[in-house]
Every structure is written in structure tokens, then in C-alpha cells.
Structure 1
Amino acid sequence: MRAAGPLVAEPSVFINGRFLTQSLSGVQRYAREIVRALDRRPGAGARYVLLTPQGADASDLDLQSIPVRPVRGGRGHLWEQTALAWAARHGQLLSLGGAGPILHPRQRVVIHDAAVFRHPGHFRRGYAAFHRGLGRLLAARAALTTVSKFSRDELASVLNRPASSITVVPNGADHLARTAPDDRVRSMLGLSGRPYFVALGNLAPNKNIAVMIRALRRLPDPDLRLVLIGANAPAVFDRSAPPPDPRIHFAGRRTDAEVAALLRGARALIFASLYEGFGIPPLEAFAQDCPVIASNIPAVREVCGDAPDYFDPHDDAALADCMARLSRTESTPRRLLQARARLAFYTWAGSARRLEALLAEDRLANTSR
């Protein structure tokens, strides 16, 4: 990482670094990997500056070109709406994490999905209301990008904008393809020699953990395990109570190397989400040649094509059937080829190129006004 020194001229694009103060989920993964990919673009050091709240740590991004400039003024939404807006006032602003300062006149914002509009019950009431209002304000002032055609159409509907005005720059998953697996994690979790399935992601209501638990109960194998990787959400589980099935492992947050090893040894990843704007975990599983059992929802169909086994996310019997089948047999070569093709289509480098082209178009549009 290189700290920003005195600049002869302002860069053309400031990057909103608030994501560095947030827990890692799909949104923050997107921001981190896009910034890393932009850092490898020609001329990145002269074109971009990453603006961060004071005290935010950008060292693990390992940026070689893009300078990092801490900006005083607190953290969170207040920092974003005031200190960030002022620091970026002379250039374009790129906000990758679904929020940005509403008063900045030359901003591109990536809003990842319409979940706060479509499923407000999955969030705290105040959080959902705030982000619905913020989304509407940003839609009126900023250029909008999202991560899938499904999310584009959803956002166009709830924000009353033409779908053609919202661009698509998808996620990638090659970060896990280039990660060396840490195989020690399987013995640490007591999984050596056992068949197991993995669920990956924050354990929030839309992740539909309950259907996995019901499906596991239908399978009598005492050695079978379900490994839940990710931060626990209190709204989903009361961790003071015993797990509903002793075969469930709450593995908590894990490093990319540990996730890669767990996926590589799993019978399959189970991705049971009720609603997604994209869904990175199936692609991460593909990166480790891990089969995928996925809920039959539009965004996952768009991203994964015919590579997974699909099931109705409300049907635990159908999920149990998929799990039983993959417990007995290996994934077919045809499925593996389809998975690798989907993985090759979604790369962080390709998304960074697309985003850079959009920023150039924005700059031309602003100068012609």
C-alpha cells in the first residue's frame, strides 16, 4: 500500500473507502476486489485515490499504484455524507458499497440489490427505511450500476428509473481460484474422513438456513455434517440454545485459504438463499471444483446457468434429495465444464475494465454539459 503524498493535480476519480470499516460480506468483497483490479489498470496511480475514514486499514488490499488518503471526520454514514463529499468535491466519486454522499454531483454508485424494498422484513426497521430513502435520493442524482440483469430490473422498478439507465458490472470469483487451500481446517473442525456440505455467507434471514436444517433432519447418516461458514446474525439463531442438530458445525468467519479447503473437500456447497442480487458463493465453489446445490431464484439462474443442481428454496424434501444424491455420487464432467465456463465469464479484471469505461463515459458527459 502506498500513502498519498503531495499531488500536482487532483486525480479524476476518488474511490469511497468506507467499505474498509465494514464487516466482510458480498458487498464489501465486491468493493475490495474491484479496487484491487483497478489498481492493476494502466495509469491507475494518476487516475484514482482511495479516500478512507481516519484509522481504516487498507494494508491488506496490497495496492501498488492507487494512493490511499485518510480523511478526518468520523466514520459511517456521517463521514460519507460530509467529510467524503467535501474531500472528493473536485473530481468524480466512485462508491462501490451501495451508499454514497447524496450531495456529490458527479458520482457513480453501485447498488447491489433491491432487498430493502422487496424484503424489508429481513432487516432492522430503521436500517431498511434509511436505505430505501438513500437509494431513492441517489437514484435522482447519481449514475447507477448494479451487479446483475436481475438486480437492474429490480432497481429500475423500485426506483422508478428506466432499466437502460442502470448499468451492470458483475462480481467475480477468481480471488478464490488463486488462493492456496489451507487443508488443516478440516481436521481443526473434526471433518477429516466425514462427508459434509458447506453453506457460505453471513447467516442472515435471506440465507434461508432453516431449510438446510430441515433437509439435514431428513438424512439419517450420523456421520454427515453441515458446515455453516460466516458471521452469525442474532435474528437467525439464538446461540445460547443448543444447535437443532448435533451434525451442524457453526464454523464462524474463515480465511479465504480455509474456505477454499472446505469447499474443495465438500460434497457440495448449498446456496439456499430466498433473495439475492448476484450470489458470489456458487462461483467461489466453482473455483474449487465443488458442486453446487442452489435455490431456483432468478439471480442465481442468471449467474450460474445450468451448472448447479436447483431446488425450490422452500422445499426441504427437494434439497434433501439433492444432498442424498451428491452424497452417493460425484458431480459429472459436464457439470464441471459448465461451472468452469461460468467462472471464466465472471472475473474481477473484466469488471474493472467495464467500470473504468463507464467512468470515462461519465467524465465525457459531465464535460459536455
Structure 2
Amino acid sequence: MNAAGRSPRVFVDARWTRTDAHDGISRFGAELIRELHALHPVTMLVHDDRQLALLPDGVPHVKINSPLSVRELFVARRLHALGAEVVFSPMQVIGGFGRRYRLVLTLHDLIYYRHPRPPGFLPAPVRAIWRLYHRAYWPQRVLLNRGDAVVTVSETTKRLIERHRLTRRPVTVVPNAPSGLPEHGEPEPSPTGPVRDLVYMGSFMPYKDVETLLAGMRSLPGYRLHLLSRIAPAREAELRAQVPRGAEVVFWNGIEEDAYRSLLRRAEALVTASRDEGFGLPVIEAMHSGTPVVCSELDIFREVTGGHARFFPVGDAAAFAAAVREVADPEQRAELVSRGREQAAGFTWARSARRLLDVLAPGRDDAVEAAEAG
């Protein structure tokens, strides 16, 4: 509540929303907007009308400059004119020179400090700045300390933020959650038949270490690995050259949501060999769907799965294959499915939105209750 006793005007920066298909940050913002608006009126900021196709209907929006425009330096002027009192960004990069509103920023992970290769969709000059930015922690500190509060998606990343002293602002965990998944029914039986399907959903950046999955397929006759995400032709050619002779690997180069859900539910396991993660959303989606998870031994995967997965050492293809074979045991599979669904039930966008609203409008619920009591 503001000094006048009314709810603050909240704007959410949706300018990182994709125009074709969601990536992790794009989905994080869109799902939080949907649930936030059910709790408290919000206005979305967009820079391209095509973004609206991936954003929730019925939420007011304003079109302003791209976050990569030079005009971003002065975006606070526009937000002041719009009457913004609180602004939430699902990124840590947003203009704010001379701002008078409360600003809440998001840091999803610290992956690029250890793996500084930038996302390929960024313009070349931005990629160059990206690499320089991740050579030291002080630029991150400057960005985060510009805000009034910081949000991140996991306790693991929060601990890293604190370890590296990246901000003096309070840090709140607002987790990811499954999106668009049907309510699960009875556990699926262990897949049978001539081929058992393994599903990988994620990018093909080097730190994802898809190479270990491919190498492990050498020891998994009777299994088929589905690589679902879009992939650049050069990277696809690079990975195809590493597919072991006789192994069955399918490059989907993008998959529709319904097809993804269907394949996930009937798969032997969702697999990932990532060397670093901020959260690992496909892991939660798999557990929610009743699909076992086979993943690399990372703190974040321990946190998200609650330990209800089959783990293997990072980069160990033989151990990956052995973990996959363990999932074929009916008793182990049933245990992973049951415990995984219980764990996944704790992650919902509605719950995350309530956590976020406590950051955006601290004391709101107490003030509402006091007003109703009076």
C-alpha cells in the first residue's frame, strides 16, 4: 500500500517476451503476469505487438521502446508519465535513471560467469558487451543495487548471490513452475516395446553438455533420444557428427506444446547432462507429468527434484547410461513417479505470484485486512 492507503500501480516489463515461442525467461514473465493480475491489477510493458500472442489476454499493456534501444536510458521518464509506482523486471537489465518508482529486478542464474558464451539471438555488439560483462562481478553488483529488491528462481542461486555479495538488497526466491500441463491421472506403467524414448528439452549451448547424452547412447541399445528444441544448422551438424554408430537420435528442431506433453508422458525418462542451471524447468514439468528424471549431479537439480531423480556425475556418459537403465526397473520407476509428483505439486505459478506480490507491495495483505476489519 502507498501513503494514500491505496494499492500501488504496478507495471511489469514484458519486453523480453519472445515473438515466436517461449524461452525460460519469456515464460517466467508471462506466467507471473497471468497470476499476478488475478491478485492485483498490473500493466504490461511491450515493445512489439507480436509479443502479445504469448502474453495473457485481458491484461492492459503499453507499447514503449525496445530494452535494447538507446531510449532505454530514459525509460523512467515514460514510466513516470504513465503513473508507475512499482516496476517489476524479469531481468536485471532495465533503464532507471532518475526513477521515483519502486524497482524489483530478477537475476535467474550465474551461469554465464562460468560459461560466458552469450545467447545467439542477441545482436553482435550486445554479445560482445555480454562477454565483457561476465568477466567480473562488479557490473552485476551495479545493476542489482540500482533496484529496491531482487528476485531469483531458486535457493541455490540465492546462495550464490550471497556468496559473491552481488547485492545489498533483499533477495526473494520466486520459483518457476510447470505451465499448461493437464492434471495427471494414474501413474503410467514402465514403457515397453521395441524402443524406449528419452526426452531432452533445452538449448544446445555448450554448458548444456548434450555431448554427454549422445556419448551415453552408445551403451543404450533399444533407446531413442529425442532432442526437442530448435537448433541452429551449424550446431545440429556438429552434434550429428557425434551420434554413435547405431544409436537412434531424433532432432526435432522445435516441437508443439501438445506434442511435447504427449511425448513427455510416455517417455522412459527426461534426461539432462547440464553442467550448470538456474532452475531446470523441464525437470519439474517431467515430474508433474509422471516421468522419471535422469540428470547430472548439481545442487540445483537436488533442490528442484527434492532428490527424487537418478543422478550421475557431470560429464560421465557411462554413468548416465547406467542411470537410465536403473529407471527401467518397475519398482524404482514407480517410486520416482510417486515421489516426483509430490515434489512437483509444490511448484505453482499462483504460489510464486503471491511471493512476488509480497515483494512488489510489502504490507499489502496486512493493510487490506486492517481496512476490512475497520
Give the match's secondary structure for 2:108: coil
Cα distance between partner residues in 1 of 2:69 and 2:107: 19
Show the 5 A alignment for 1:272-291.
272-291=273-292
Cα distance between partner residues in 2 of 1:63 and 1:172: 20
Matched-pair contact (CA < 8 Å) for 1:206–1:273: yes
Aligned to 1:185: none
Aligned to 2:314: 313
Alignment gaps of 5+ in structure 1: 1-8, 181-191, 365-369
Q: Cα deviations across residues 34-75 of structure 1 (Å, max 9, x unaligned)?
A: 11111222xx3xx311011043431343323x211212x3x2
The answer to whether residue 162 in structure 2 is matched with residue 169 in structure 1 is: no
Cα distance between partner residues in 2 of 1:217 and 1:172: 33
Aligned to 2:107: 111
Cα distance between partner residues in 1 of 2:67 and 2:184: 31
Give the match's secondary structure for 2:87: strand
Give the match's secondary structure for 1:225: strand
Cα distance between partner residues in 1 of 2:177 and 2:72: 29
Aligned to 2:28: 30
Aligned to 1:158: 164
Give the match's secondary structure for 2:68: helix
Q: Cα deviations across residues 298-346 of structure 1 (Å, max 9, x unaligned)?
A: 1111111121111112211110101223345464433222111211111
Aligned to 2:132: 129
Aligned partner (choices 148, 155, 161) of residue 149 of structure 1: 155
Distance apart, 1:218 and its partner CA: 2.0
The alpha-carbon distance between structure 1 residues 77 and 218, as it changes in their structure 2 partners (threshold 3 A), is same
Give the match's secondary structure for 2:251: strand
Matched-pair contact (CA < 8 Å) for 2:289–2:341: no
Give the match's secondary structure for 1:20: coil
**Counterpart of 1:129 in structure 2: which amino acid?**
L
The alpha-carbon distance between structure 1 residues 325 and 160, as it changes in their structure 2 partners (threshold 3 A), is closer
Aligned partner (choices 28, 49, 67) of residue 60 of structure 2: 67
Aligned to 2:258: 257
Aligned to 1:16: 13
Matched-pair contact (CA < 8 Å) for 2:211–2:239: no
Aligned to 1:85: 76
Matched-pair contact (CA < 8 Å) for 1:122–1:206: no
Percent of aligned pairs sharing the same letter:
27
Q: Cα deviations across residues 116-170 of structure 1 (Å, max 9, x unaligned)?
A: 22332576553233466753322221121101111012123335435x8211111
Distance apart, 1:241 and its partner CA: 5.9
Cα distance between partner residues in 2 of 1:93 and 1:292: 37
The answer to whether residue 249 in structure 2 is matched with residue 248 in structure 1 is: yes
Cα distance between partner residues in 1 of 2:313 and 2:178: 25
Distance apart, 1:202 and its partner CA: 1.4
Distance apart, 1:240 and its partner CA: 9.4
Cα distance between partner residues in 1 of 2:31 and 2:315: 33
The alpha-carbon distance between structure 1 residues 330 and 235, as it changes in their structure 2 partners (threshold 3 A), is farther
**Counterpart of 1:113 in structure 2: which amino acid?**
D
The alpha-carbon distance between structure 1 residues 226 and 350, as it changes in their structure 2 partners (threshold 3 A), is same
Cα distance between partner residues in 2 of 1:328 and 1:337: 14
**Counterpart of 1:77 in structure 2: which amino acid?**
L
**Counterpart of 1:127 in structure 2: which amino acid?**
W
Normalising by structure 1, report the TM-score.
0.81
Distance apart, 1:239 and its partner CA: 5.5
Give the match's secondary structure for 2:57: coil
Aligned to 2:47: 53
The alpha-carbon distance between structure 1 residues 150 and 281, as it changes in their structure 2 partners (threshold 3 A), is same
The answer to whether residue 94 in structure 2 is matched with residue 94 in structure 1 is: no
Aligned to 2:237: 238
Aligned to 1:3: none
Cα distance between partner residues in 2 of 1:147 and 1:60: 21
The alpha-carbon distance between structure 1 residues 67 and 282, as it changes in their structure 2 partners (threshold 3 A), is same
Distance apart, 1:266 and its partner CA: 0.8
Cα distance between partner residues in 1 of 2:52 and 2:184: 20
Cα distance between partner residues in 2 of 1:240 and 1:270: 17
The answer to whether residue 140 in structure 2 is matched with residue 120 in structure 1 is: no
Give the match's secondary structure for 2:361: helix
**Counterpart of 2:176 in structure 1: which amino acid?**
N
**Counterpart of 2:72 in structure 1: which amino acid?**
Q
Matched-pair contact (CA < 8 Å) for 2:75–2:96: no
Aligned-pair Cα RMSD in Å: 3.1
Matched-pair contact (CA < 8 Å) for 1:82–1:101: yes
Matched-pair contact (CA < 8 Å) for 1:195–1:327: no
Cα distance between partner residues in 2 of 1:240 and 1:149: 33
Aligned to 2:188: none
Range with greater deviation from structure 2 (228-237 or 142-151) = 228-237
